[in-house]
A and B are shown apart, each in its own frame.
Chain A
């Protein structure tokens, strides 16, 4: 088996765990890039009802903390780690 030291394999889930994917991410990618790539792959909604971007965050399941967007994947995550993507999103009748 060939091991690629430039990438890391992680598993990502959505909030409910219904959407799940595994993928290889470059170690030197930022968490922000990780969220973009995995979110696109999982078809996560990028905009809210008004067309404004939805902010997604990555929770490191093993450490139980939210990853900072500027962290490097290779520094923050280990091989086969799991992350959970969580949005900051509003319900209600905004504009009322």
Chain B
């Protein structure tokens, strides 16, 4: 149940509103929030969330109608999704539209606020429940060496990546040269004897029929179909658990001094990468494996859902 209408307002210098308020869709936020709560309930061994799900605004310290976060509540579980992150894409799209319309100047910095007003009618927003998580029993706890431990977070489930998957990722990245490439990750969800749920990434299926360019990789219907066929042929009770793609050395033609400080030399998950995961891998256990070039060579990093948003995270492997 949603009790409010949410609107976005772009601000220019001096926090001056510009353009008209834009009504925001809450279907995406609701889906993210419900999935995060569903997963949290599952890994904590609690029951189903039930159908009573409520969306409500968390007001800014400056008071209503300014919104700091959208709260998703289901039974005793609740999650606050920060408005600045949740609606950043909508703000970016609206800003671009205002620039195209000549209302804003290109290149200047703009902000945004989100407001909420009580709805005249309470709205029921359709929530699409993902299927129950298919989990098998593991006879021992997951082991391995933790990689990227600086990005560990107590909210994350453990992810073990087979070392062959990491090797394949680095090999595919090298073979692709200056273009991006990609793939589909297969894996299984397991529960160890202590009841701890973890994801085991078992295989990297190279993307067939994709389109690799210098700064993008397009997954086509053929890519997904062939991955599905490979998954079926392996008959290993695996499922598609995420994507793999590469970021080649974007900075190789830049001045050395600029290379040292360029953020493109750091691993990052772009808006497009997040959008791909939201579209294809919305399940909270899903992950995205990235092989990015730092000037010296490729290294892997892992990204996954954390309370409704994609974050860099640690993982386990055998080095």
- Size category of the A interface is 35 or more
Q: A49 with B89: in contact, given A90-B272, A96-B215 (CB under 8 Å)?
A: yes
Bitwise interface map of A from 63 to 95 toward B, beta carbon under 8 Å scored 1, else 0? 010100000000000000000101111111111
Is B224 located at the chain interface by the 8 A CB criterion? yes
Q: A96 with B264: in contact, given A18-B131, A18-B283, A88-B218 (CB under 8 Å)?
A: yes
Contact indicator A57/B221 (Cβ below 8 Å) = yes
Distance in Å from the Cβ of A55 to the closest Cβ of chain B? 9
A18, A49, A50, A95: the one contacting B215 at CB < 8 Å is A95
Contact indicator B275/A88 (Cβ below 8 Å) = no
Is A37 located at the chain interface by the 8 A CB criterion? no
Contact indicator B220/A92 (Cβ below 8 Å) = no
Main secondary structure of the interface of B (DSSP, over half): mixed
Is B281 located at the chain interface by the 8 A CB criterion? yes
In Å, the complex CA distance between A88 and B250 comes to 24
Please name all residues of chain B whose beta carbon is closer than 8 Å to the beta carbon of A66 when the two chains form the complex. 221, 225
Q: A87 with B219: in contact, given A14-B280, A49-B274 (CB under 8 Å)?
A: yes
A16, A50, A91: the one contacting B273 at CB < 8 Å is A91
Bitwise interface map of A from 12 to 28 toward B, beta carbon under 8 Å scored 1, else 0? 00111111110000000
Bitwise interface map of B from 212 to 246 toward A, beta carbon under 8 Å scored 1, else 0? 01111111110011001000000000011101010
Contact indicator A49/B272 (Cβ below 8 Å) = yes
Among A22-58, those with CB < 8 Å from B are 41-45, 47-51, 54, 57
Please name all residues of chain A whose beta carbon is closer than 8 Å to the beta carbon of B279 when the two chains form the complex. 44-45, 54, 87, 89
Contact indicator B276/A91 (Cβ below 8 Å) = yes
Please name all residues of chain B whose beta carbon is closer than 8 Å to the beta carbon of A48 when the two chains form the complex. 272, 275
Contact indicator A45/B215 (Cβ below 8 Å) = no
In Å, the complex CA distance between A29 and B260 comes to 56
Bitwise interface map of B from 122 to 138 toward A, beta carbon under 8 Å scored 1, else 0? 00001110110000000
Distance in Å from the Cβ of A84 to the closest Cβ of chain B? 7
Is B319 located at the chain interface by the 8 A CB criterion? no
Contact indicator B224/A91 (Cβ below 8 Å) = no
In Å, the complex CA distance between A16 and B240 comes to 6
Contact indicator A88/B271 (Cβ below 8 Å) = no
Nearest residue in A to B216 (C-beta to C-beta)?
A92
Contact indicator A93/B250 (Cβ below 8 Å) = yes
Contact indicator B270/A93 (Cβ below 8 Å) = yes
Distance in Å from the Cβ of B195 to the closest Cβ of chain A? 22
Is B31 located at the chain interface by the 8 A CB criterion? yes
B241, B271, B281: the one contacting A49 at CB < 8 Å is B271
Distance in Å from the Cβ of B305 to the closest Cβ of chain A? 13
Q: A91 with B31: in contact, given A14-B280, A66-B221, A86-B225 (CB under 8 Å)?
A: no
Bitwise interface map of B from 81 to 115 toward A, beta carbon under 8 Å scored 1, else 0? 00000000100110011000000000000000000
In Å, the complex CA distance between A84 and B280 comes to 12
Distance in Å from the Cβ of B258 to the closest Cβ of chain A? 14
Please name all residues of chain B whose beta carbon is closer than 8 Å to the beta carbon of A14 when the two chains form the complex. 280
Given contacts A84-B228, A94-B216, A96-B215, 14 further A-B contacts (CB under 8 A): A15-B224, A15-B280, A16-B281, A45-B275, A47-B93, A57-B221, A64-B225, A88-B218, A89-B218, A89-B219, A90-B219, A90-B272, A91-B182, A93-B215
Residues of A within 8 A of B (CB): 14-21, 41-45, 47-51, 54, 57, 59, 64, 66, 84, 86-96
Can you report 26 residue pairs joining A to B where beta carbons are below 8 Å apart? A15-B224, A15-B240, A18-B130, A41-B128, A42-B128, A43-B27, A43-B126, A45-B28, A45-B275, A48-B272, A49-B89, A49-B271, A50-B92, A50-B271, A57-B221, A59-B224, A64-B225, A66-B225, A87-B224, A90-B276, A91-B219, A92-B213, A92-B215, A92-B273, A94-B215, A96-B214
